[in-house]
Chain A
Amino acid sequence: MLGDSVKAQEVFHTTLREAALRAAHGELPNEPFWLFRDARWRCLEATKTDLQAEPIEMEEQEIIASAGSQIERLEPRQLAIWISAAPEPQRTALALFYLDEFDYREIADLAELKLSELSRLLALGRRQFQAWLDATLPRRPTI
């Protein structure tokens, strides 16, 4: 979500501290994902003051069969930065989806999206990431 491990850690600790305080006062919400909702909100707050990427038309490319081998050549940090640079709510949708801990309903609920919106944002994200991959790590010629 943030693309910056120091900021991420700060948000993480603030969220947990707040949760511990609420637990001490017996004020924990009766809702399973409140902690993730809270963490997301803090991430959005933390990035408000950051330099914002200019809204540009990103290229799109259909996913190719060899995308897996392109991704294998990536650094995890590159992916984290790419996702954190995506506009909201696409950034939340992609971050939660590739965390591979939530199902689509939970993601839609956390990101406050409808199924159709979530679907569109994920599909768009894949195509844009494929285009970025093609530009960053050109496909290896097949023999």
Chain B
Amino acid sequence: MKTPELSRRQRALANCAPINEERIRDRFMRAAVFRARSSSEFENQQSFDRALATLVRSIPIPPETAEWFSGKDLISPSRWTWKKTARNPVVLAIGIALTVIAGVFVFHFVGRLNDFPGSGTARKLLGIAGSTRSVVLDPVNADAGTLSDLFFLKHALEHYDVPAEFVDFRTIGCRVFEDDQSQRIAQIWVVEKRMQFFLFPAERNVKTGAVLKFEGWRYVHQEGWVGAVTERNGVCFMVALRGREKDLAPYLAKSKQ
């Protein structure tokens, strides 16, 4: 019979191969026995070991000692523990993978929780707010509330109105531009904390064309900027500034009063 080529470790394992193959508990031993099985040397070793084990079992045990083992296992089966299971590389890998998947899922879920119709556009506009320089705006020194007429008369933009709580803010400049979806956006820069206002069309139902309304103010965040968005007459108004929600909150609280 052809002797298979075994690595040094496999040869060492084959030398320690259990007498009963059902006792093989690890894959390295199983692989070594599988490879060695075809050799006559290994076959002789196994029959030699089996004969010796049979002889060992026939060694008489004094009755007073034997009764200790009656009906009992010599070794208690290893107990299942969380620690042992957690150390298993397969369980560890699955655990890490599940944690990552759960993390991504939670991240998206939390992101979705704050979503509202038009939140995507609002985020994009926050990006624009962060990169806009005042020179690209037409200089306008007026109250923000008066710009509604300008937008209507000059650009034919209906209902592009600044909410009552922000009408008294003095402006530095404004402009009207089209975004990547050809939506017309009005941008106003005010003196107060260098805030920016954006007016843009509210999101509509794709099938019916109806405006997707939402109540009150909703916050969006992007690259260190925070925006509060509200919808009125099919137009969304966003007030944006660099900072946190708490910086915007006092202005919105005024509106509730």
Contact = CB atoms under 8 A, between A and B. Distances in A.
Interface of A: 5, 9, 12, 16, 32-33, 62-65, 67-68, 71-72, 74, 76-77, 79-80, 97-105, 107, 115-116, 118-120, 122-123, 126, 129-130
Given A68-B47, A71-B52, A98-B56, A119 B19 contact: no
B54 to A, nearest CB: 8
Looking at chain B's contact residues, the main secondary structure is: helix
B47 A98 contact: no
Contact of B19 (A80, A100, A105, A120): A100
B76 to A, nearest CB: 7
Contact of A79 (B44, B50, B55, B78): B55
Nearest to B79: A32
A65 B13 contact: no
Looking at chain A's contact residues, the main secondary structure is: helix
B53 interface: yes
Contacts of B26: 103, 105
B49 A98 contact: yes
A5 B26 CA distance: 35
Contacts of A99: 56
B60 interface: yes
Given A79-B55, A101-B75, A119-B15, A67 B48 contact: yes
